[in-house]
Structure 1
């Protein structure tokens, strides 16, 4: 429910824009208010679950999410809607981290844990496209508001059933790293705001550059605070592993590119190809099916070829799909020019997200499970916000008029999909670095073991 809501309004964006008179850049806050609050507070939510009990924090998050969904569904203006979406994201930030942490704690067998994480990752990876499908269904048949209001009865059912079937986790001793939480949230918020502001008023705007400067100061302060904090919200030792660090950075790139593709592709299908909101939602069914299907093939592939090799191959497949999609033009049709690239993207991104999730929690100590799972989700949500913000700048630069015509829209979408291909290219390079670094580390370990064996031989 909470992952799906990151994209539930995607197919409704043209309707919301007309109803509330959003600008092209301002419209992105309908998505970013949710994703940014979600990503910015995830570390706080993960730590709160460790300290207060994951079941308790989960229930509190679901309760607040349900109320915020009701408020968003009955919004009467743009500020109201954006504020309610931000509260939704904040509530999700406290409920979601407990899920992955509980999975990591529950499954001690590596194979069982791998299967559980694969299914979890499929839900996370497919959530965006499922949200688009469901949002299109409600928008076309009822109203875009029902995509948000449907959370109310679901949330009530969860609040009734969860106390009966969930068991409370062992509470950790300690305190919440308030300053770390504040500086990390402020830094990421300022970074995204700077990109959105630049897209709306131009790069000469002083507030954009002030936001970038504030982001740099806050993120630097966050690192310094975490280095000296007795109980940091993000233990910097999590970044000591190249595999985990690469997984977090790779997730930002992959999710940033894919989120922007979904965000703008839904507008392209409606504004250029003339599809309805329902038809746009149905157009995402193939990629959604691929996301779920990959959960059942990634295990055998990983067992045979190894995680780094499969990751690089998956990113390359996704890159081919995005490059193909970037070739849209006036004569583009849904088949084959959109659906076939989406299938390739579904295969590549579906596998990559699963492997990046596994790498993001690989080798962590039990006491760091909450923080590691929080970082995985932070990279996912903040990556989506940054990707949409950056590529909104690209879109506005390519289609600068307030009411762009068809050819201007196509130029804007072409620029966005090309930018997404650049992000995927960077992810491929990062995957190759991780692959070779892992092989070098394995070679060094093998040589060290050989030297030890020789030294201890009779």
Structure 2
């Protein structure tokens, strides 16, 4: 047996791989929750720093935009430069950007800090997922590892709301950023001690033209959607959406012709992986976009303080965690396809119920049941999703595939947030003067929740069409010899 094979087998057999899973899952939790942790703190931050409403929106958008637009490049950096090295640099930079944001003295500094967080998260997230792929290359352990990782990633948005509420209530909004320094220290120490380096062998070249094209393309697309609140027919909205779509088409053409593409089209051409990426995008729109309006309803309409509003979203996380062990067992019994079809439908029922909220309704009757059902359904999506998106990926493409999956989540969240905001604003504007302001707000929230439910029904249809094959075909077992090629 070769030296690389012995290294891979010893790595996969080492007990420290489970501690490595803890570190990598913690990393994913941080990058996902940072998309929502400042949401509850925004009113306090706006008042202290004197933010305009536009600046307030960009505190959220800057992170998602930089993160989503640079993820593909970050994935290739991880593949070529070394996944462990990229992970550590991303972690260090993320911590520095978080500290800068926590000490920001004005809106510009806060927005810049959030953008820098997104830049380093674009290195961190694909490196973490690629490291998970090479640490658990096959078998039941891989299913378990991806189930844990997926559940943590899926619950991150809700955890961010809870943690943001606790920190805002008992400390200060700045701690919603400064708390990341603690996670970074744990991640750096754990990464250095527990994670094994891996990278793509050979003479690798960066696809710089593709990187610039897709970064500007994704950025333009997300920005265009963020302008939709001002009107879908506005020249700026249409212009940025058209520019983004055109550049993404050009990116596909470039990737089909370069020798070492940023995103090998074979990664997304596979119908199962392509379907998983599309489902991830819709899930991101719900967990990032729709959850923002849950927070607004709890605070603005129901009058909850930040802490109570954060705790009130906790049932989503709890229901996900309760169902993950069940879903993990079912994965090996019935396979991923039924779960990917049924999970979104269950969550859609929860959101449809949530769309019935009224200004004089109660949390226990109108909100709590919906959040529980939403979490139950999402558990059946998160457990198989990460595995499906990375099954069958060539070792040299692990970072690119991981980046695509993370990018789908963040871009989906950004687009979902923009679309829901546009629908909400339009409904509130059309509500008229006949009712109270709270009635107008809840009417707008209802439209956003119903749109999210429709999106999840679409996700179920996508899964039914694209994710086909038997259980053994969708979750193939990889031999030890094959697994060895993942570690270099």
8 A Cα contact 2:228 2:419, kept in partner:
no
> Per-residue CA shift, 1:4-26, capped at 9, x if unaligned?
21111122233334445556665
8 A Cα contact 2:37 2:163, kept in partner:
yes
Residue 111 in structure 1 maps to residue 144 in structure 2: no
* Aligned-residue offset at 1:164: 3.4
1:188 aligns with one of 218, 225, 228: 218
Residue 416 in structure 1 maps to residue 448 in structure 2: yes
Q: Name the residue aligned to 2:95.
A: 66
State the TM-score, normalized to the length of structure 1: 0.91
* Aligned-residue offset at 1:309: 1.1
Q: Name the residue aligned to 1:147.
A: 176
* Aligned-residue offset at 1:66: 1.0
| Aligned pairs (5 A) from 1:230-379 | 230-379=259-408
| Gaps in structure 1 of 5+ consecutive residues | 443-458
Q: Name the residue aligned to 1:429.
A: 461
* Aligned-residue offset at 1:365: 1.8
8 A Cα contact 1:25 1:196, kept in partner:
no
Q: Name the residue aligned to 1:448.
A: none
> Per-residue CA shift, 1:380-416, capped at 9, x if unaligned?
1111111101111111112249xx9212211211111
Q: Name the residue aligned to 1:178.
A: 208
State the TM-score, normalized to the length of structure 2: 0.85
Change (3 A) 1:161 1:248: closer
1:208 aligns with one of 214, 237, 243: 237
8 A Cα contact 2:340 2:381, kept in partner:
yes
8 A Cα contact 2:70 2:119, kept in partner:
yes
Number of aligned pairs?
A: 438
CA distance in 2, matches of 1:343, 1:366: 38
Change (3 A) 1:25 1:422: farther
> Per-residue CA shift, 1:102-155, capped at 9, x if unaligned?
121122332111111111111101111111111000111111111101112432
> Per-residue CA shift, 1:29-73, capped at 9, x if unaligned?
222211221121111111111111111111111111111101111
| Gaps in structure 2 of 5+ consecutive residues | 1-29, 431-435, 474-488
* Aligned-residue offset at 1:302: 2.1
8 A Cα contact 2:350 2:372, kept in partner:
yes
1:8 aligns with one of 37, 43, 48: 37
Change (3 A) 1:308 1:175: same
CA distance in 2, matches of 1:122, 1:420: 20
Q: Name the residue aligned to 1:131.
A: 160
Change (3 A) 1:333 1:157: same
Change (3 A) 1:210 1:248: same
CA distance in 2, matches of 1:317, 1:14: 33
8 A Cα contact 1:191 1:211, kept in partner:
yes
* Aligned-residue offset at 1:27: 3.4
Residue 407 in structure 1 maps to residue 439 in structure 2: yes
CA RMSD after TM alignment: 2.1
> Per-residue CA shift, 1:220-243, capped at 9, x if unaligned?
111011101111111101123211
